[in-house]
Structure 1
């Protein structure tokens, strides 16, 4: 799994218990998966279709640094299936994991659109291919 993004837990990210608000971390996961999928599938019209059970394992508190990791499980015709884990950067303890997230590419009419991708591609390789 590759960990792409780090977040510093600030007061506005906390729930009334003084720990990381679940809704905030889900917002960050959804955004990270969307950005990752848009880049992989080369389509800015990519949306979240499905998230499996969400498993909160540990919490984070103000001042903690967390990181968001994404792993590609498979490519569908119009979709990409991901796994996500958020962990504490310093302790490596898992905060939340989602075993299955499906992102779908859409056409200009909002209908699923085939993307033609079959494997993970890195932007640096795409740029080298087009030179």
Structure 2
């Protein structure tokens, strides 16, 4: 489990003066990549396959301090799925964004390769 913090600044905002979804997605993928890499330990062999179920439930305003909490959710033979949620650092019960990112282990030619991670989920 990993936890990363960000301060939301003016340059991170959209035309509604809330956190731009593209910036949130960038931070989200970065945080989930770090989580996947802590399990895999081979950054040169890990690529993002898919962002899925990324749901924005509450707006994030300028000056907010957010935390991105990540945890391994599933591993296949070549895939690593990470769950993440972005929440208000001052009010942890206030989840703003959550979803999953799947990464694939590849060789130097970009072909899928087994990652050999053994992972047992704690819950469904």
- TM-score range for the pair, normalised by the shorter chain length: 0.7 to 0.9
**1:29 maps onto 2:23 in alignment:** no
Q: By how many angstroms is 1:3 displaced?
A: 4.7
Query: RMSD of the TM alignment (CA)?
Result: 1.5
Q: Which runs of 5+ in 2 are unaligned?
A: none
Equivalent residue for 2:106? Answer: 106
Cα 1:3–1:39, aligned 2, differ >3 Å: closer, same or farther?
A: closer
Question: How big is the shift at 1:53?
Answer: 2.4
The size of the alignment, in residue pairs, is 118
* CA shift in 2, pair 1:34/1:3, >3 Å: closer
Corresponding residue of 2:87 = 87
Would the alpha carbon gap of residues 115 and 3 (structure 1) be closer, same or farther in structure 2, given more than 3 Å must change? closer
Distance in 2 between residues matched to 1:95 and 1:38, nearest whole Å? 24
Q: Does 1:72 align with 2:68?
A: no
- Alpha-carbon contact 1:3-1:67 (below 8 Å) kept: no
Larger Rg: 1
Flag the 1:73–1:42 CA change in 2: closer, same or farther, 3 A: same
Deviations 1:77-111 (A, max 9, x none): 1111111110011122111111x321111111111
Partners in 2 of 1:8 and 1:94 — Cα distance? 16
CA-CA distance at 1:14 after TM superposition? 0.6
Verify: 1:49 aligned to 2:45, yes or no.
Answer: no
The alignment partner of 2:30 has SS state of: helix
CA distance in 1, matches of 2:29, 2:37: 12
Give deviations 1:108-131, integer Å, cap 9, x for gaps.
Answer: 1111111111138xxxxxxxxxxx
| Long gaps (5+) in structure 1 | 121-131
